[in-house]
Amino acid sequence: MTDSLRQAALDYHALPTPGKLSVELTTPAQTQEDLSLAYSPGVAEPVREIAKDPEAAYLYTGKGNLVAVISNGSAILGLGNLGPLASKPVMEGKSLLFKRFADINSVDIEVECPSPERFIETVAAIANTFGGINLEDIKAPECFHIEEALIQRCSVPVFHDDQHGTAIVTVAGMLNALEIQGKTLEDARIVCLGAGAAATACCKLLLAAGAKKDQITMLDSRGVIHSGRSDINAYKGEWARDTEMRTLDDAIEGADVFLGVSGPDLLSAEQLAHMADKPVVFACSNPNPEISPELAHKTRDDLIMATGRSDYPNQVNNVLCFPFIFRGALDVRATRINEDMKLAAIEAIRKLAREEVPDAVRAGYGGVEMTFGAEYILPKPTDPRLLPKVAAAVARAAVDSGAARLPYPAHYPLKPV
């Protein structure tokens, strides 16, 4: 990062007021009567109603449009375990995105917990305050256990965005890229470099979307995850293959798809050259991808490439899904965000990339051409159609799958924020 960009980032978070969030009133608080209704004695009436029926909290409080963004700071962006307090700018940023893109109120919570069990107990104890829980920047493999336990213990949806948000956008873009390349997910040979939270979630969702498990080769820092290894945990063990492949050189030979969720510059030009015709490369390590787009396109003129960066085409960006998934889930009072809802979000996102892009969106990106093809496989985050389309798809899937406690909303489709 240049000195000027670094200073701009610091100024953005510090000025004109430190942080990126504030609290606003939604009811009058000017007169004595207003105050008597807002607090004592008037507040006693909704208290009594909620005591009789907990569901009344959705009627008399902001619970139904409130999401907690919670982290222990153990895996902050690409910076590692810097602790809960250091994660606060990221969690505030996530809350900003919830409000900006889906008009969802959000509170960031940074938890000092020495163990996964303490973290689980803490979050479970406060979960009922919120309409949903967004877990963020929690390292693997603890994040898997934490999310699983909280899903079981909480009556509101719990969603680890580093896993599932990444997976949803990745699979949406990959399905479109493979179609453009004349390939199918069912037949594709996939190499996944990385075995953490995002990698595992991506591969699981690829299976749900139609990929074959025996066509997926996952690698960690020690090489191919194979059945002969004794140094892998249970989560990695799910991806162990009975294979003679040991290295990325072995795995990449003839592969149709490379999915990188690992680190910078780990895929060489020589390795890329050994992939199948018309390969799909998702090099999603941030800020520096597994192979630079310049080198990749210089090496292969037949590939489709995506990264996690906004300064290249085909950015894999979680903001394409998580605000809208929560919007749909909240509006039908879903108890969880299940696989059907994730697949519905994938389909809505990938279909939107095929539609004509509004002039306002194009103008926001310098007027560049955006037509479904090799350099436009995913919608832009500023596309106002994401909210109505993705939220509606998620809400419908929640209702149809039995995860919803309310019917499909009569006021859908939504208008853009």
213 is catalytic: no
Query: How far is residue 289's CA from residue 284's CA, in Å, rounded to a whole number?
Result: 6
Buried b (16+ CB within 10 A) or exposed e, 92-103: bbbbbbbbebbe
Segment holding 135, helix H or strand E: strand 132-135
Query: How far is residue 147's CA from residue 149's CA, in Å, rounded to a whole number?
Result: 5
Query: How far is residue 180's CA from residue 174's CA, in Å, rounded to a whole number?
Result: 10
Q: pLDDT digits over 251-301, tens only?
A: 999 999 999 999 999 999 999 999 999 999 999 998 899 999 999 999 999
Residue in the block written with tokens 């909303």: 409
Query: How far is residue 381's CA from residue 101's CA, in Å, rounded to a whole number?
Result: 9
Q: What is the DSSP string of 30-66?
A: SSHHHHHHHSTTTTHHHHHHHHH-GGGHHHHSSGGGE
What's the farthest any 2 CA atoms get from each other in the chain? 78
Classified as helix, coil or strand, 216 is strand
* Helices 197-209/339-352 angle, 10° precision: 80
Mean pLDDT of 12-27: 95
Do 73 and 83 contact (CB within 8 A), yes or no? yes
Mean pLDDT of 314-322: 96
Classified as helix, coil or strand, 260 is strand
Q: pLDDT digits over 94-131, tens only?
A: 999 999 999 999 999 999 998 999 999 999 999 999 99
Considering the candidates 39, 60, 213, 298, report the single residue annotated as catalytic.
39
Classified as helix, coil or strand, 218 is strand
Q: What is the DSSP string of 265-281?
A: T-S-HHHHHTSPSS-EE
Q: In this model, does residue 29 exceed pLDDT 90?
A: yes
pLDDT of residue 78: 77
Number of residues that make up the chain: 417
Query: How far is residue 71's CA from residue 68's CA, in Å, rounded to a whole number?
Result: 10
Confidence class for position 353, pLDDT limits 50, 70, 90: very high
Structure tokens at 59: 């009627």
Considering the candidates 52, 63, 88, 94, report the single residue annotated as catalytic.
94
Query: How far is residue 412's CA from residue 417's CA, in Å, rounded to a whole number?
Result: 14
Structure tokens at 19: 């942080």
Q: Among residues 180, 181, 140, which one has the least CA distance to residue 162?
A: 140
39 is catalytic: yes
Q: What is the DSSP string of 348-395?
A: HHHHHTTSPPPHHHHHHTTT----SBTTBSS--TT-TTHHHHHHHHHH
Structure tokens at 336: 């969880």
Q: What is the DSSP string of 86-111?
A: GGHHHHHHHHHHHHHHH--EEEEEE-
Residue in the block written with tokens 């000017």: 30
Query: How far is residue 79's CA from residue 6's CA, in Å, rounded to a whole number?
Result: 15
Q: Among residues 130, 155, 158, which one has the least CA distance to residue 145?
A: 158
Q: Is the pTM of this model over 0.85?
A: yes
pLDDT of residue 330: 98
Q: pLDDT digits over 174-233, tens only?
A: 999 999 999 999 999 999 999 999 999 999 999 999 999 999 999 999 999 999 999 999
358 torsion bin: left (phi>0), alpha (psi -120 to 50), beta (else): beta
Confidence class for position 416, pLDDT limits 50, 70, 90: confident
Q: Among residues 167, 173, 169, 160, which one has the least CA distance to residue 317?
A: 169
CA distances to 171, 174, 179, 366 from 280, rounded to whole Å, are: 12, 8, 10, 26
> DSSP class of residue 126?
H
Query: How far is residue 100's CA from residue 319's CA, in Å, rounded to a whole number?
Result: 10
Q: What is the DSSP string of 233-253?
A: -HHHHTT-B--S--SHHHHHT
Structure tokens at 70: 């919670």
pLDDT of residue 294: 97
pLDDT of residue 155: 95
pLDDT of residue 79: 87
Mean pLDDT of 43-57: 98
Mean pLDDT value across the chain = 96
Residue in the block written with tokens 């279909």: 351
Query: How far is residue 379's CA from residue 371's CA, in Å, rounded to a whole number?
Result: 10
Q: pLDDT digits over 63-95, tens only?
A: 999 999 999 999 998 789 999 999 999 999 999
pLDDT of residue 375: 96
